[in-house]
Amino acid sequence: MERSVDHSDAVDRGRRAPLKSDLDHSEEVPGLSVRDLRFVSLRSIAVGLLGVLIVCGLTPFNDFALANTFFVGNFLPVGLVLLTIVLVVGINAPLRRLAPRFALSRGELAVAMAMTMVSCAVPASGFMRYVPAGLVGIHVKASDPSNANLLRQAGLPDWLFPSFESADPESRGREPVVADYFQRTVGTKDGLGDFVGAVPWSSWITPAITWGIFAAALFGAILSMVLLVHRQWTDNERLSFPLASVYKELIDEPKPGRWLNDLLGSRLFWLAASSVFLIHLVNGLSVYFPKTLPAIPLGFNLESTLTEPPISMVEWYVKQSQIYFCIIGILFFVQSKVSLSLWVFVLLLQIVIMFLRGRQLELTEPMRVDQSIGAALTFGLMILFVGRHHMKMVIGQMFRGRRPDEPAGDFLSYRTAGWMFVGCFGLLVAWLMAVGAVWWVSILVVAVMLLGLLIIYRVVAETGMPFVQLKFAPTRVLEWILPLKNAGATSIFSAAWIQQVQSHDLRESLTPFAGHALRVGETSIEPAMKRHLPKLLGAIIVALVAAFVISGASTLLMEYNFADTQAAHPSPQLVNSWGIDGSVNIIFDRVRVYLSEGGPNVNHSMPVHVAFGAGILLVLASLRLRFAGWPLHPVGFLLMYTYPLQRVWFSIMLGWMIKVILLKLGGARVMESARPAFIGLIVGEALAAAFWLMSSVLLYASGYEYRAINLLPT
């Protein structure tokens, strides 16, 4: 909760050129060509839709059938970086020299990138990993009589699910629409016609419509929420948006007569990128030829060394960790105090754990969840508190209109965005009530879900961390506020289900993607061109509609044609096993706990731990707001218990140390000269992941055995 300045953005403001939409040639800017003025053009939308098609069409097959490094997987997607490099270096650079009139301007590249970026939120963990698999997995698990009984008690409407012949939950699990999705044997279908024909499309029309309504309301609420806080975070609080800075660097305009921009034409950039690529090339080959080519160590494992108490009591992720070059690279764009907090809190936690375990005490997972809930709720309240004047103005404009002395929304008027949020929020509540949830559960589930999505956006905008999650469960929050056990089976099942769809796994949530897409778009044009920003919002909406249709179809095609993952190593397992099996088990277990036991049975006081988490974060936030020199940011405590931070804390520490050393030795001048190297680390790792991803696809398509090479944290 701070006023942070993105210095790289200030540099960009001084050198970027105005851009113009092909759809409006009435505006003229002296000294600039028509090509330089292009922004939301027909061809930029076409290129963006091609990116949507590639991301949403390939992701389910790559992530779940081939078990590769996720094509999206986080907020710096391998697929997006790969497509950007191919477009900028492989296509646009030659066009600039050989056929300049056909080359895309930076504004057009920004539109294509924004459309592709928001589509990354749909095909996997952001939505499709859980929805179709859950519709089937619920009936697969109903083969257990106890689960079937819970499903009967819930009485969920048939319009949620694919079409069935039977009304009995146990019988439905044996019908082809479920059995083929869950168990289809690879190799029983030949040819494209059989591949497409494996899907019972007609059975999925009803859930496509009903869940499409849910998705439309959800995406609408997210977009309007992002629009409402956008100006507060970019102008008033001046958050750094580190990932947006990386994206902007990649699509920056080259100097006249140059093929590539300053970043992509930098030797330091390519030296760093190629070094990282070669390291991962060697390590990938060592997986195929372990006896011939040894791997280059990229981490440590001290399990056999740290065996004596109290140091042996620390948790696993401190004893072993891996280096992720992309995380080190991103730290260049993150304030040092923020990055310091991210790894310091991980180590401070180990001191607490050693102290407790030395006294035969344990910081249990339910305790951590409750403390995280308190921290997240306080973090959300701090967001609203810091932006209270902006929110007051927005609410005022919603009811009375905009006054002459008040700012207007750049992409959409605050009045329209505000009522759009209210309408979409109401539609989500109405959808849950139509499912059968009581009104107060529906309202609280939607409110907590959207609050979690807003918090994850804030965290990414402030820290730049590409792999982020929260321990923020709506059902647990509801239990703390109101007795969820009294809400009935339908309400409990609905709340548990929506939690798994949108709140459990936030690594690919739409809020950060949408916010960064808007940021990249607006920083690619001069202030005089802001009148064209609503067209960018329209392009983003088109991309989301296309992403829903394409990713839904590609998910069904993948699931109905592959039963198991195809990689020789790791050994084959059920395709999308977490979405169809593990996640669904959690839903049933959570419902069972509330219906049979009245709620979770924990050996601690939930209010005490919620209050503790809230208190710690409030103190940290207050110190941060009051004292400019306070070194610890509250986001470190907020993420302290999360799995992503446990995976990347060591890389964060390395990145922080490198940045501090460079600043001490050479100051801002050395840091600025090192900028291409840091981005090179990011791009090099992304390209290496993309190389092994494509290698697996080609080997599989050619009928050869392959090994999945996963380079990024998952």
Model confidence at 194, in pLDDT bands (50, 70, 90)?
Answer: confident
Q: Helices 414-435 and 388-400, interaxial angle, to 10°?
A: 90
Contact call for residues 435 and 445 (beta carbons, < 8 A): no
Q: What is the DSSP letter of 301?
A: E
**Residues forming a β-bridge with 301:** 320
Range 99-117 average pLDDT: 93
Lowest mean pLDDT among 341-345, 415-419, 572-576, 648-652: 572-576
Tell me what pLDDT residue 238 has. Answer: 92
Torsion, Cα 562 565 566 571, to 10 degrees, reads -150
Is the predicted pLDDT of residue 436 greater than 80, yes or no?
yes
Tokens 């401070």 -> residue: 348
Is the predicted pLDDT of residue 19 greater than 60, yes or no?
no
CB atoms within 10 A of CB 514: 26
Contact call for residues 455 and 447 (beta carbons, < 8 A): no
Q: Which of 50, 68, 46 is nearest to 59 (CA)?
A: 68
Helices (H) and strands (E) in the chain, counts: 29, 2
Q: Is 633 left (phi over 0), alpha (psi -120 to 50) or beta?
A: beta
Tell me what pLDDT residue 380 has. Answer: 94
Tokens 């609408």 -> residue: 220
Range 678-697 average pLDDT: 94
> Which has more pLDDT, 224 or 504?
224
Q: What is the pLDDT of residues 638-654, one digit of tens each?
A: 999 999 999 999 999 99
The dihedral sign for the CA sequence 109, 112, 114, 117: negative
The secondary structure of 494-538 as a DSSP string is HHHHHIIIIIS--TT-HHHHHHHHHHHHHTTS-GGGGGGHHHHHH
Q: What percent of the chain has pLDDT over 90?
A: 74
Model confidence at 191, in pLDDT bands (50, 70, 90)?
Answer: confident
Model confidence at 26, in pLDDT bands (50, 70, 90)?
Answer: very low
Lowest mean pLDDT among 179-188, 248-257, 300-309, 373-382: 179-188
Range 96-120 average pLDDT: 93
Lowest mean pLDDT among 32-36, 345-349, 476-480: 32-36
∠ CA(341), CA(342), CA(346), 5° rounding?
100
> Which has more pLDDT, 190 or 651?
651
Tell me what pLDDT residue 186 has. Answer: 52
Q: What is the pLDDT of residues 141-172, one digit of tens each?
A: 999 999 999 999 999 999 999 999 999 888 99
CA dist., res. 656 & res. 679, Å (int):
15
Contact call for residues 258 and 265 (beta carbons, < 8 A): yes
Tell me what pLDDT residue 712 has. Answer: 85
* Mean of the per-residue pLDDT values of the chain: 90
Q: What is the pLDDT of residues 219-267, one digit of tens each?
A: 999 999 999 999 999 999 999 899 999 999 999 988 888 889 999 999 9
CA dist., res. 215 & res. 136, Å (int):
18
> Which has more pLDDT, 18 or 698?
698
Model confidence at 11, in pLDDT bands (50, 70, 90)?
Answer: very low
Q: What is the pLDDT of residues 534-559, one digit of tens each?
A: 999 999 999 999 999 999 999 999 99
Q: What is the pLDDT of residues 576-585, one digit of tens each?
A: 999 999 999 9
Q: Which of 650, 661, 658, 656 is nearest to 350 (CA)?
A: 650
Contact call for residues 140 and 172 (beta carbons, < 8 A): no
- Host H or E run for residue 322: strand 320-322
Tell me what pLDDT residue 698 has. Answer: 92
Is the predicted pLDDT of residue 9 greater than 80, yes or no?
no
Q: What is the pLDDT of residues 68-91, one digit of tens each?
A: 889 999 999 999 999 999 999 999
Q: Which of 313, 201, 251 is nearest to 520 (CA)?
A: 251
* Residue 412, amino acid: L
Model confidence at 667, in pLDDT bands (50, 70, 90)?
Answer: confident
Paired tokens of 399: 């009811």
Range 190-213 average pLDDT: 92
- Host H or E run for residue 321: strand 320-322
Range 606-626 average pLDDT: 92
Range 612-627 average pLDDT: 92
**SS3 assignment, position 320:** strand
Tokens 């007795």 -> residue: 483
The dihedral sign for the CA sequence 241, 245, 251, 255: positive
Range 101-114 average pLDDT: 93
Paired tokens of 458: 């804030």
Model confidence at 2, in pLDDT bands (50, 70, 90)?
Answer: very low
Contact call for residues 65 and 58 (beta carbons, < 8 A): no
Tell me what pLDDT residue 301 has. Answer: 92
- Host H or E run for residue 305: none
Tell me what pLDDT residue 23 has. Answer: 39
* Residue 628, amino acid: A
Lowest mean pLDDT among 187-191, 312-316, 317-321, 492-496: 187-191
CA dist., res. 73 & res. 78, Å (int):
8
Tell me what pLDDT residue 187 has. Answer: 52
Cβ-based neighbours of 242, under 8 Å, separated by 6 or more:
6, 330, 333, 334, 463, 464
Tell me what pLDDT residue 35 has. Answer: 52
